[in-house]
Amino acid sequence: MKTRSIISSALVAVMLVGGLSTTAFAVGGPSGPKVKYQVQGHIGEVRLNPYGLTPLTAVVGNGGYILKDIKVTIVPKQGGQTISYTVDDQIAKTYGGVPIFGLYPSYANKVEVSYTRGGLHIKDEKFNDKYTIVTNGVGFIPSGILSQPAIPFSKVTVKKVDKKFADRLYLLNNLAENSHGKEAQAVWNNPVGGALEWNNDSFTYIVDTQGEVRWYFDKDKLLNPGDIYNTGIQMGFRQNSDGALTWGYGQRYVKYDLMGREIFNRRLPLAYNDFSHSLDNMQNGHYLLRVASANTKRPDGKNVRTVRDVVAEVDENGYVVDDWNLFEILDPYRKDVIMALDQGAVCLNVDASQAGHTLSEADIAKLDSSNNFGDIASTGTGRNWAHVNSVDYDPNDDSIIISSRHQSAMIKIGRDKKVKWIAGAHKGWGDKFKKYLLQPVDSKGKKIVCDDEYSKCPGYLNDEGGFDWTWTQHTAFLIDSKSNKDVVYLTVFDNGDARGMEQPAIASMKYSRAVVYKIDQKKMTIQQIWEYGKDRGSDWFSPITSIVEYQKDKDSVVVYSATAELGNKGKPAPELMEFNWGAKEPSLQIKFEGAGLGYQAMPISLEKAFNKKKK
């Protein structure tokens, strides 16, 4: 075993012009072309940010050797979190060397790499190399306004990290609080409508359990705010089974790996527009995109672009397989929840001057009779009547499960476009939907009696009966490993606006919850089996965004209350937590301040990304 220590400044190319150096350089022959670069250890050079999109990654070139038995360790700061992972030889060939992930920004990172090098006519040798790799700071372009600096967050407070979760890395997808003039400069007018103007800036980065940034995606190198087909809010991040990330923005959906390598970057199929919120990776390799229709003829003969009410299925090559036009499947004129919404925070349309205001029957009627289409919280095709913020595929019966914020309902719909069940308050659903409304039950299967319209159940104001619906919820995600054809489990973030189909007398009465439901699809019942957040009150209330998702690897539930404190303090302070299954209190708890509007967060697996053989 041979060991060597190397110092590498990967910020600049090192060129020798005279003088002496003890560092080895690759050069050409006496009469051939010269290639000058610093030789790093016993293989090749360090290439920081190899694809130009992930500045806290690097590749150590293979130097012409064949590499195997690779292990990488990023030595932590004092008291920090070690990142260590193995790399299989397939991945080493993909990157032409050893992928380095998890560097600290603005830091001289100590990196240890062990490997076996060899080749066709070269004897295998094992090495342990040590590197110092220097990085720049997190490089988001500043917004130019004081309230949104070019940093992921201004303060982080690690409240709790149990040993079980100490090795976690979490991807955070947050959004700017205010536009700074580079976005939202266009609207659709042929036909009219859509949500093109809905275009905040967005930030995506990975933190460790000490709240340290260990990766970020340089969205400023990807987006072009002056081109409507190459800009938009980056949302719907998912880590695929191959370790790469998929997400969408505006009129595109994309796939990149953690090193920044582009796998695909595609325009939406032309029948659709305005991706946002959710991209689901189906088990068969297809993708479910939450989009809208690029051209739909309403019953009154008007052509419009719709708003957040279409799910399209595309295959691996981008061909459309199927779609669910929700304005045809559901009732776009159900107005009960829309009339109860707090107009001060209708998803990302945050307007403090409208806090507590709601829409009246007259307001709805006026909008319905107008030609005002687009991102308007109202009824009818071409307006924001559904606001679908998540879609998840259930392979047990070839169905999709959607979360509709503006109907305060989670709904299962089959491949035949028929509703299978509706989890939400019963008020306002027409006769054709009533047979699909779920009945709340307790742990013994006993019917829970709610008010006449099943809007206020016993858990609405207290814990008696242990049940409440979700209100303006986000992320109705299936727990695949615990579900089957008869019974499904869902994790949901119950934001809590318009709870009970009304606004409370005092804003501080609002609260959010992380919830797990058990749905018996044969008996058409729904049971609440776990909740968190009610006792936290308005301090933990997230009026918009957020996520709850089960994690099979640790039998746990990740919760991101992404706009906590926005409602009562005016500035969001997202809080990330992870719970052991069924636990009443979190095992990990981290609070971020100055992070803009949080959207979603999720664990990231380096094993998926760098070691295909272990999957």
Catalytic residues: 474
First to last CA, the chain: 29
Distance between CA 381 and CA 192 in Å, rounded? 12
Distance between CA 449 and CA 463 in Å, rounded? 14
Distance between CA 442 and CA 446 in Å, rounded? 5
Q: What number of residues does the chain have?
A: 615
Q: Which of 468, 475, 492, 496 is nearest to 341 (CA)?
A: 496
Tokens representing 586 are 């979190």
Alpha carbons within 13 A on the beta-carbon side of 520: 16
State which H helix or E strand residue 20 sits in. none
Q: Helix, strand or coil for residue 431? A: helix
Residue written as token pair 């990990």 = 588
- β-partners of residue 346 are 349
State which H helix or E strand residue 385 sits in. none
User: CB-based contacts of 113: which residues, under 8 Å, 6+ apart?
Assistant: 41, 60, 70, 71, 72, 73, 98, 100, 128, 129, 130, 131
Tokens representing 246 are 């998929």
Residue written as token pair 């002056």 = 226
Distance between CA 337 and CA 343 in Å, rounded? 12
State which H helix or E strand residue 607 sits in. helix 606-610
